[in-house]
Amino acid sequence: MNESLLKYTNVDYLSKDKLKLELGDDFTNEIWLEVIEYRKKYTFKLPLLNNRDKYVSIVQTPWILQKEIKTISRIASIHSETMMNLSTKYSSATVFKDIEMKSSIIDIQFLLNKKIFSPRISIEKLLLSSKENTTILEKEIIKMYENINKIGDKIYSPREIAKIFYKFNSFPLKNKDKFNEIHGSLMETIKSTKINSLLTKISSIIYTIVNNNMFGDESRSVALLCISSLLRNSYMVYILKGVSLFKVVDYNWYEIKNAVEETKNDNGDLTYISNLISKILIDLVKLSKEQINSHIEFHKKYESLSMNEKSITIKTILRDNPELSLKQAKFFVSHKNKMANYTLKDFQKYIGSSYETSRYSMDNLVNAGFYVKVKIGKKYVYKPIK
């Protein structure tokens, strides 16, 4: 094979259409056949049924395998660096508990497809809330989410996960035998001890459920919950602490759908999806690092306060508004009378700062939604709105 073509498999795994765009007028069908022949040498069939009664496959050249190993190493490296930033004073349990609760609420909101929860309400409190605020079905969804995200030996199947969504409906696939056959082959792939690649298993879940539209409108949610269950029972469990898988995947959903279409058009070649998932997992770990570092900084800020300053109000402001400084939060706590108007001089006097710093700080509080800036005569005043 022409060595210049190897990069279109080993570096960027291009489909026929993308290779046409890449090569332009230089593209020929002979070139594509050459690429296909090279890929065939390293193609491995999976026990996963395609919707055309054929089995899907994945290409694993030495370079692609090396790339997957590098992805795992990079994930471990980012995680290790993040853990090093945690001083002994700020335990990982303290930091993780806070951010994991926030990401859980984001995931549940995604499942319910509506924003009904305050960021300050924990899942535990939500389960105890009145029926007026939380329906029985919503509570069951929350319980299901909590169960599949527990670390344990069980990886939940798509069918088990989907039960809650279809409590009052039948499965969308009319041919039950076909559904059972596809579902069975997916679970065989996920649980196979011969398939060590986490990327291959995640790609199998996405392709099978989304391509076959196995659960109708809930196919996307079921796929994500199934992946979440798989990750919780893998080496990724501690690395992905406090990150909303749903939010990150939702952001990349257009690209995922394209990768599913490329897999479908190329006789069930999962490598298109696997390459994309590799990038998404690294994004997840980077996000996890950002979240953890942000919370470490918050804990450091909070610990530096005096006992009087450690009020729940200041703590909440700093936690929910990382763009604000400690001085800005302290000023608001002491200047929040809704009947009063505050000026830059008030900030200068209270904090002992320059005019420019005062103006920047007050405008920052306006942008964060704590004050509204109003012009009275020739000067501006700031009215509390929280």
Q: pLDDT of 210-228, one tens digit each?
A: 998 888 877 888 888 888 8
Q: Which contiguous run of DSSP H or E holds residue 38? A: helix 29-40
Cβ(57)–Cβ(264) under 8 Å? no
pLDDT exceeding 70 applies to what percent of the chain? Answer: 75
| pLDDT for residue 118 is more than 70 | no
Nearest to 78 by CA among 311, 287, 381, 336: 287
Nearest to 59 by CA among 82, 32, 40: 40
Q: Which amino acid is at 308?
A: N
Q: In terms of residues, how long is the chain?
A: 386
Say whether pLDDT at 18 is over 50. yes
Tell me the CA distances in angstroms from 186 to 50, 164, 240, 267, 381, one per residue in order.
Answer: 10, 20, 24, 17, 63
Alpha-carbon dihedral of residues 41, 74, 149, 114, nearest 10 degrees? -100
- What DSSP character marks residue 234? S
Distance CA(78)–CA(50), nearest Å, equals: 36
Q: Is the pLDDT of residue 368 over 80?
A: yes
Query: Is the CA virtual torsion 153, 157, 161, 166 positive or negative?
Result: negative
Q: Which residues have a Cβ under 8 Å from the Cβ of 60 and sit 6 or more positions away?
A: 42, 44
Q: Which residues, in sequence order, are CB contacts of 2 under 8 Å at separation 6+?
A: 31, 34
d(CA 222, CA 162): 6
Q: What pLDDT sits at residue 115?
A: 39
Average the pLDDT over each of 93-97, 126-130, 163-167, 364-368 and give the range with the smallest value: 126-130
pLDDT at 8 over 70: yes
> Could you tell me if 146 and 122 are in contact, meaning their C-beta atoms sit under 8 angstroms apart?
no
Q: How confident is the model at residue 303 (pLDDT cuts 50, 70, 90)?
A: low
pLDDT class of 171 with cuts at 50, 70, 90: low
Has residue 166 got a pLDDT over 70? no
For the domain made up of 312-384, give the CATH fold: Arc Repressor Mutant, subunit A (1.10.10)
The span from the CA of 280 to the CA of 22, in Å, is 23
> In this model, does residue 318 exceed pLDDT 70?
yes
Given a contact cutoff of 8 angstroms between Cβ atoms, the answer to whether 204 and 270 are in contact is yes
- Cβ burial, residue 193 (10 Å; 0-12/13-18/19+): exposed
Residue 25 has pLDDT above 50, yes or no: yes
Residue 296 corresponds to which amino acid? I
> How many other CB atoms are found less than 10 A from the CB of residue 207?
27
Q: Are 260 and 273 in contact (CB under 8 A)?
A: yes
Of 238 and 276, the one with more pLDDT = 276
Instruction: Please count the other Cβ atoms lying within 10 Å of the Cβ belonging to residue 287.
Output: 17
For residues 297 and 98, the answer to whether their CB atoms sit within 8 Å is no
**Tens-digit pLDDT profile for residues 150-165:** 766 678 888 888 776 6
What is the predicted pLDDT for the residue at 233? Answer: 81
Is residue 204 within 8 Å of residue 240, measured between CB atoms?
no
What average pLDDT does range 227-244 have in this prediction?
Answer: 77
Q: Residue 109: what pLDDT?
A: 66
- Whether 327 contacts 362, CB under 8 Å: no
Query: Which amino acid is present at 298?
Result: F
Sketch the domain layout of the chain as residue ranges.
3-41, 55-297, 312-384
Note the pLDDT of residue 356: 86
Q: Which of 141-145, 199-203, 320-324 has the highest average model confidence (pLDDT)?
A: 199-203
- What lies within 8 Å, CB to CB, of 18 at 6+ separation is none
Q: Please report where in the chains the tokens 């798509």 appear, as a residue.
A: 158
Residue 347 has pLDDT above 60, yes or no: yes
Task: Name the token pair of 70.
Answer: 């590098």
Give SS3 for 380: strand
Domain 55-297 in CATH 1.10.3290 = yes
Q: Which residue, chain included where needed, has tokens 């919950």?
A: 225
Task: Specify the amino acid at residue 376.
Answer: I
The widest CA-to-CA distance across the chain, in whole angstroms, is: 79
